[in-house]
Structure 1
Amino acid sequence: MADKMEVLVSGASGFVGQALVKNLRDLPELRVSGSVRSAQRNPIDGMLEIGDIHSKTDWSALLRNKKVVIHTAALLNSTHDEVADRLAAFREVNTAGTLNFARQAAAAGVRRFVFISSIKVNGEQTLRGVPFKEGDAPDPSDAYAISKLEAEQGLWEIGRDTDMEIVVIRPPLVYGPGVKGNFASLVALVCRGLPLPLGAVENKRSFVSLKNLVDLVTVCMVHPKAANQLFLVSDGDDLSTPELLRRVATAVEKTAILIPVPNRFLEFAAFVLGRKMQAQRLLGSLQVDITKVRDLLNWEPPISVDEGLRRCCEAKRDY
């Protein structure tokens, strides 16, 4: 019997990492392990403790015999108040930590390094109907996105200098069972039946279900044409904010109560309340074009938006 391919998933206790480990372990041809910051806090079989990720982290023990690495671990929030300190904190983990990991992976004989980046590298918003594409000039606007872009740039250099293949995936907002943040807040508001002043919003936004993202990562691990490529990913079905809320309502067997308040009033209220960025995500557009991944890898999202939302909201039906 052929040897199983050894795979390491970093950030295996995170939202995406957990789902990847769970799904990859169902594939009989793989032997999958995951790295976590603390094994005591994540007592899951096969989880390997790595501690903090930074420019000096020693990955050598975890990389032994690994042929594919999927790097999902990242600093998402920083407690630093000063802009310079925030950027330094993100760079230490997301840039220097990633590149240190990749260099050690290449030296250990890893064949392919799959990096989960972010659509925020492209920017925060698009014109409606003018989606981001892989060839667009990056336009990161915050410390997190800058650190991810710099990690990507360093990875391409490592790929050119070594035999290790690089794959970069930039997802938009990822939703699925256990999702937190603004998406979870929206679901909770719909579940409570509260009226929302978003009925007049005419934007378009791309999302990607956890199931679809995991499926694409699985393809990118082994597909020959994925080597040294950048991909944008989504569910392939962009939604306005009212459309999203109505579909969430259907998924939780509720009715979305949407009041048509003009955008200019919502924008003014957000400005007064200091919630400009939150309003942008509700009112503005952010679309991605997945033509490249469809054409080059012959990949299609395996589940629809409605199925993704059903899975995401299943536990909240009785909220």
Structure 2
Amino acid sequence: MIDYSIAIYFLNRFEMSNKILVTGATGFLGSALVKRFCAFPDTSVVAPLRNLNSKLPDVVEKAHISNIDQFTDWTQSLSGVNVVVHSAARVHVMHEDPAQSLEKFRAINVEGTLNLARQAIQAGVKRFIFISSIKVNGETTAPGRAFSADDIPNPSDPYGISKYEAEQQLMQLANTGAIEVVIIRPVLIYGPGVGANFQQMMRWLIKGLPLPFGAINNYRSLVSLENVVDLISTCIVHPGAANQVFLVSDDNDVSTTQLMRSLVSHLGVNTWLVPIPVGVLVFLAGVLGRRATAQRLFGSLQVDIKKTQALLGWRPPVSLDDGLKSTAKHFLESRQ
């Protein structure tokens, strides 16, 4: 866990007020970051928001922005800030034309990010932490061949491409010496309040009906919300984080079957995972037009976090099992 005395020391080395700007402050990751940063001693947090009535801790300084693109004026948000954590992004949108989709992703994830970074430099910000995506590395890994932070990137969808292009241009700014850049590529983030596919999986499991996922022998890296927040907190203050790319996970890869069995246990249900051969499931998914879903369920995606551990001395403070337990507990409580 982050040592707050060290945090204060390194923030004070910037000879500025201890002030952190968090974009995407009302999102799943952003809201957790705001909560953590508000616990830093002698540190203030500013959150740029479209809706100033958004629910955030009272101590958070709110600043209005209408949108995130190449024209956004960040002047009010950046006043007195020495660290930016940019977690806001355009994420996956279903059923878009690929060509148009890429341009829309670029408008926010590339041009919007670079506009913020350039204005951050003008405002005297010292460190810019960019929350990227493992999709920059690629979509799948071969068994036993995990992605590393220094692999040649291979993004394939508009979201991953836009994140990679933003990374490249941020590193060009870092190379000028005008600002320190830290890039973090998380795998799937789960935790209390998680939505999207992870929440849908728990909805399947809670019904107690037999599911055909009992014989999936892939390997997936996951990261709990608390672990990724802890790493970002470390990267705010650690001198070794400057101008580096880091991958992050719980450092405990599991198969989809193992993941579901763990959730079944923590949800307290008796869902039977029927051992249907994966080849049959892949065929059926193709017939139903669900190849992307099949890839996430049956394919492997592993990451190697040795660089993160070596350069930062960082270890995931929360185990996979404890992270799944708290996620299931919150899911059950939210249904009451």
Same fold (TM over 0.5): yes
* TM superposition shift of 1:83: 1.5
* Aligned with 1:158 (options 173, 179, 183): 173
**Secondary structure in 2 aligned to 1:138?**
coil
Q: Which runs of 4+ in 1 moved over 3 A?
A: 1-4, 40-45, 77-80
Task: Please say which of residues 275-284 and 72-81 is displaced more in the overlay.
Answer: 72-81
* TM superposition shift of 1:254: 2.2
Give the whole-Å Cα distance in 2 for the aligned partners of 1:313 and 1:108. Answer: 42
| Number of the residue aligned with 2:30 | 17
Q: What RMSD in Å do the two structures reach over aligned CA positions?
A: 1.6
Map of 1:216-227 to 2, 5 A cutoff? 216-227=231-242
Map of 1:33-48 to 2, 5 A cutoff? 33-42=46-55, 45=58, 46-48=61-63
Ranges in structure 1 where 5+ consecutive residues have no aligned partner: none
* Aligned with 1:293 (options 308, 311, 322): 308
| Number of the residue aligned with 1:105 | 120
Give the whole-Å Cα distance in 1 for the aligned partners of 2:93 and 2:275. Answer: 36
Residues 1:250 and 2:272 aligned together: no
Give the whole-Å Cα distance in 2 for the aligned partners of 1:304 and 1:80. Answer: 36
| Number of the residue aligned with 1:278 | 293
**Secondary structure in 2 aligned to 1:189?**
helix
- Cα deviation code 1:143-185 (max 9, x no counterpart): 0000000000000011112421000000010001111111111
- Tell me, yes or no, if the aligned pair for 1:25 and 1:32 is still in contact at 8 Å: yes
Give the whole-Å Cα distance in 1 for the aligned partners of 2:170 and 2:138. Answer: 20
* Aligned with 2:65 (options 29, 39, 50): 50
Q: So what's the TM-score if we normalise by structure 1? A: 0.96
Map of 1:149-228 to 2, 5 A cutoff? 149-228=164-243
Map of 1:119-134 to 2, 5 A cutoff? 119-134=134-149
* TM superposition shift of 1:40: 3.3
- Cα deviation code 1:173-231 (max 9, x no counterpart): 00011111111111111112121111111000000000000000000001000011000
Give the whole-Å Cα distance in 2 for the aligned partners of 1:77 and 1:316. Answer: 23
| Number of the residue aligned with 2:5 | none
Letter in 1 for 2:26: S
Give the whole-Å Cα distance in 1 for the aligned partners of 2:309 and 2:266. Answer: 27
**Secondary structure in 2 aligned to 1:103?**
helix
Letter in 2 for 1:246: R
Give identity over the alignment, percent: 47
**Secondary structure in 2 aligned to 1:267?**
helix
* TM superposition shift of 1:42: 4.5
* Aligned with 1:304 (options 319, 322, 326): 319
How many equivalent residue pairs? 319
- Tell me, yes or no, if the aligned pair for 2:266 and 2:325 is still in contact at 8 Å: yes
Give the whole-Å Cα distance in 2 for the aligned partners of 1:134 and 1:82. Answer: 30
Give the whole-Å Cα distance in 2 for the aligned partners of 1:78 and 1:189. Answer: 23
**Secondary structure in 1 aligned to 2:257?**
helix
